[in-house]
Amino acid sequence: NTAPEALQAGEEAAKSLLSNLDEAFSPAKKPANVADADFQKQRAAVEAAAHNTLGWVAMQRKNNEEAEKQFTESLKVDPNNGQVSYWLGTVILAQKVPEKQAQALYHFARASSYRGPNALPDQARTQLDTYLQKVYTQYHGDQSGLAEIKQQAASQPFPPADFKIKSAAEIA
């Protein structure tokens, strides 16, 4: 639901979750029959969901910088989410900042290559891979290097700090 009231309600709920996370998941509130590791997994899931909601709301409002921030935080908490990697690539690309285009391509490669828990469904990954090949070729000039990026992205949610893809103009 993208109605302004629904977006506002989602944003308020997500912010409330984040602001109360430490209290809600304090050691004193852990049920005795729940293992510490499971309790921490539940906390991480709630935190990631809150960041996903804030990112999605920002994306719907075309506030791509805020969406990028929230989706990045979500992936730091839960690095294995193909949908969030796809959304992150989408909002980075939408910013139309030339220096960030390689990051967007990396996140598309992550979403199309990652096959673990919370991966995109096969059909969605195939469609995204077709799109990735198109935009990568438009940016880089050909598909050289794409297979290596996809291989790296399949195992790492974020590109290395020195990650770079040369544009066709830079290559020329």
How big is the chain, counted in residues? 172
108 DSSP assignment: H
For residues 54-74, average pLDDT = 98
pLDDT of residue 108: 98
Max Cα–Cα distance, the chain, nearest Å: 64
Which residue in 98, 95, 135, 128 sits closest to 113, CA to CA? 128
Two structure tokens written together for 31: 């049920």
pTM of the model: 0.94
Q: Provide the residue type at 42 as one letter.
A: Q
Q: What is the rounded CA–CA span in Å between residue 114 and residue 20?
A: 32
Residues 131-164: tens digit of each pLDDT: 999 999 999 999 999 999 999 999 999 999 999 9
Angle at 141 between CA 104 and CA 144, to 5 degrees: 80
